[in-house]
Amino acid sequence: MRGAFLLEPRGDEMTHDRRQKSEPQSRSALGVPHPCVFAMETRGKRLLPFLLVLIAAAVAPSAMSRDEREVVKVSGAPDGVVWAAQLSDLHFSVHHPERAYDFRRYVGPALAMVNPDLVLITGDLTDGKSKDLLTMKQNEAEWVEYESTMKEIIESSKLPRRIFYDLRGNHDSFGVPASGDDYDFYNKYSINAKLRRQGRVQSITLENSGRKHLFVGFDSTMEIGLRGPTNLFGHPTDKQVIELDQALSQWDTDFDKAPVTKIAFGHFPLSFSALTESGKSIKDVFLKQSLAAYLCGHLHTRFGKNLKRYYHRQVQEPSLSEHYYQLNMHQGDAIHSNKENCSEEAAHIEEFWEWEMGDWRKSRSMRVLAIDDGYVSYTDIDFRLGSKSIIILPTFPLDSRFMQRASGFRDFKCHVPGASSFDTVRALVFSKHEIVSVSIKIYDSRPGTLEVVFDSEMKRVDSNETRGNMYLIPWNWRAFEDSSPSRYWLQIEVMDITGDTSVSQLRPFSVNGLSARVNWTWKEFFVMGIQWASIYHPALWCAFSLIFSLLLVPQVLAVVFKDQFTYKCLCTYGRQRTLLKSLVGGFICSFVELARVILVWLLLLLYAVYLVFIPWLFGHPVTEDGSLTFMTYKGWILKGPNSSNKVVHAGIPDVMVIVLPHLCFVLLPTIVILAAMAAERAAYREHYLSRSGKKKDDYYQKSRRQIEHENFWNGRWIRKFLCVLCVVVLWKHWKLCRALVKAYAMNSLLHAPVLFFFIPLLMVFAIYKTWSI
């Protein structure tokens, strides 16, 4: 046992004691009444405090109150230092038993070696998918595997179960109608449930050397757990946001004013978190509380290793585009002035880092995060190459790419000479065997190559700690001041008694508190930089606007200008125009020709109207034995939670994974391809008519190039190519329809005949209509 739980006395008990002491005075002031009246009065006064407590509990929010704050005093660790381990996206599956096997093999020994204060598991504990990945629902066998695996991990690591916090992810809520339902295996097998951690917000405070370290976890999964693929986003409610804000601010009014470092952890990154019913955002709560970091999962490392994002409250109003996307990791950095305000009133800077965690599913990743004198750092461990006997975590100076904050510049400008935080380079070292040596190298990258400018042995801190080894070395930190945040690079090398050596990842640092810029790859930007919940409706109506414009505007042109937008006119004036004008003219003529194939054009228009006003499909979005319901672009229409008769639109913006692909990769390409077919028919008609008016002997007087041109048109190779494109679109459409049938236990003929069969039949009909001239 590394610490004891400290609970402050409850306010209702103190109130009750004070009331009991004041009762004799009250009765003496009133005189002695009739015995019956006296007895009733006494019972009433005794019950009054309890009634007040009950009323207060009924009207107060369900967040943790000040009197229920859980504090653990950390022991056996270096002064002012705490550390935690994070794992995410385990995806234990009956179809992939190697995930649980590797978890037992590597994580247990690693946790025993690191001996963290907390173990955070941020969602997707089980996979909940069929072998073909198309049916998504809870599988109790996977939860039994998770329970037995975690029990073995706790036993092998010899860590207390109470330090484990396992949150729910979207995979853990597939097909769960409500919390506590028969399908809610999380409430039966998770560690949080077994420890009776009620509610969707939990917090714990680690205290070491007078400094508090507040960890707040929250579950923002759907209240009605839809089955995938329309269960992709976090859905916080107004109530959860209030509870989260209260949990993060629980020490703000404390009288001792001890320094508090705040860490939040959850499953969903902010780019995949929806707004609340009233339009509130988790991001605003994090900025208000100025978190050190928000730890999350969900995205997996297949999208990249730089899934991190820095948030800062700007002085000026953010532009409209910033509500929808952020181009790079550090966009919105604070503008530092040469005259930094060092007063206590100016100390609060609204900022935080978001650090997505690599997945265990394929990457076999684990993160160790440390807080040293308020500075937060981490290192990621990859078990794909085997177990680790040495883990190195530099805690100061910080990596200027991913860990530096705007407040770091203020710390540098307002630095008090002699303060211990800047005077030493520090690192935590965890090892299975006795450590022989720890050395540090600092490189200067200005010459164009890495040149060693500091090389020294680090010394272990001599204290009473029984967990973790803190090594440090004094340095002249002012010698490394530089305007470039990536000029100096740091690396630590460790050797144990067996001769095994390990080096930390080479990382840049800036004692000035400046942030090194890191650019996302396009995949990293796609999942971290775009606010998908905010962009769904603009993208949806842009797609619909484009579809209706491509159908209605050419029809107007065909009616008003009649024969002006034809292939013959394009050929007549084409030689007098530039290439760009010719391409634009050909594009317009293609859709005008489609408008002239009136039946095909009308069917396309009716289908677009159908998608706006009529349900797309019927299915079972929660469980097969549940009631059949329907989906539109507004989401699934379901009854509200707790058996209420209120109808809700569930799965907004999650349905975008069905709606936008169908509009952008099926309907839009279909319109373009059919327009091209109509234009090809018009061009071939002109070619045929021009050829039929010439003599047969003229054929032998043509050049080779003219003959090849004739054969090209006679073979109608453009049409054949367009038919191949039709097959590609139909293949994409078939994949989407097959996934929906599997996902929602539906019959294609009964539950979605228009969505499934309209496009294929329309393509066949359009090919037939545009074949003849």
Phi first, then psi, for residue 50 (nearest 5°) are -65, -40
Question: Which range has the worst mean pLDDT, 43-52, 344-353, 451-460, 492-501?
Answer: 43-52
Residue, of 739 and 642, whose pLDDT is higher: 739
Query: Angle, to 10 degrees, between the axis of helix 11-30 and the axis of helix 35-59?
Result: 150
Q: What is the mean pLDDT of the chain?
A: 84
pLDDT in tens, 238-247: 999 999 999 9
pLDDT in tens, 283-317: 999 999 989 999 999 999 999 999 999 998 876 66
**Could you tell me if 445 and 489 are in contact, meaning their C-beta atoms sit under 8 angstroms apart?**
yes
- The token duo for 159 is 């860590």
**Nearest CA among 474, 460, 381, 373 for reference residue 421:** 373
Residue 216 zone, left/alpha/beta (φ > 0; ψ -120 to 50; rest): beta
**Could you tell me if 422 and 480 are in contact, meaning their C-beta atoms sit under 8 angstroms apart?**
no
What is the reported pLDDT for 61? Answer: 43
Q: Distance between CA 702 and CA 98 in Å, rounded?
A: 70
Q: Distance between CA 96 and CA 516 in Å, rounded?
A: 40
Question: Which range has the worst mean pLDDT, 191-205, 237-251, 500-514, 551-565?
Answer: 551-565
Tell me: pLDDT of 10 over 80: no
**Could you tell me if 369 and 378 are in contact, meaning their C-beta atoms sit under 8 angstroms apart?**
yes
Q: Distance between CA 188 and CA 165 in Å, rounded?
A: 15
Percent of the chain whose pLDDT exceeds 90: 61
Q: Grade residue 9 by pLDDT with cuts at 50, 70 and 90.
A: very low
Residue, of 557 and 565, whose pLDDT is higher: 557
- The token duo for 7 is 């609970």
- The token duo for 264 is 């939040």
Question: Which range has the worst mean pLDDT, 64-73, 128-137, 286-295, 441-450?
Answer: 64-73
The pTM of the full predicted model, rounded to 2 decimals, is: 0.86
Average pLDDT for 382-389: 93
Phi first, then psi, for residue 95 (nearest 5°) are -90, -10
Helix/strand/coil for 138: coil
What is the reported pLDDT for 689? Answer: 72
**Residue 77: burial class (beta carbons within 10 Å; 0-12, 13-18, 19+):** buried
Q: Distance between CA 337 and CA 523 in Å, rounded?
A: 34
Q: Grade residue 394 by pLDDT with cuts at 50, 70 and 90.
A: very high
Average pLDDT for 725-741: 96
- The token duo for 17 is 């004691």
**Could you tell me if 468 and 426 are in contact, meaning their C-beta atoms sit under 8 angstroms apart?**
no
Residue 236 zone, left/alpha/beta (φ > 0; ψ -120 to 50; rest): beta
Residue, of 61 and 435, whose pLDDT is higher: 435
pLDDT in tens, 172-212: 999 999 888 889 999 999 999 999 998 899 999 999 988 99
Residue type, 511: V
Query: Angle, to 10 degrees, between the axis of helix 668-692 and the axis of helix 704-715?
Result: 130
Q: Distance between CA 90 and CA 107 in Å, rounded?
A: 12
Is the C-alpha dihedral spanning 130, 133, 139, 141 positive or negative?
positive
Residue with tokens 């005008």: 592
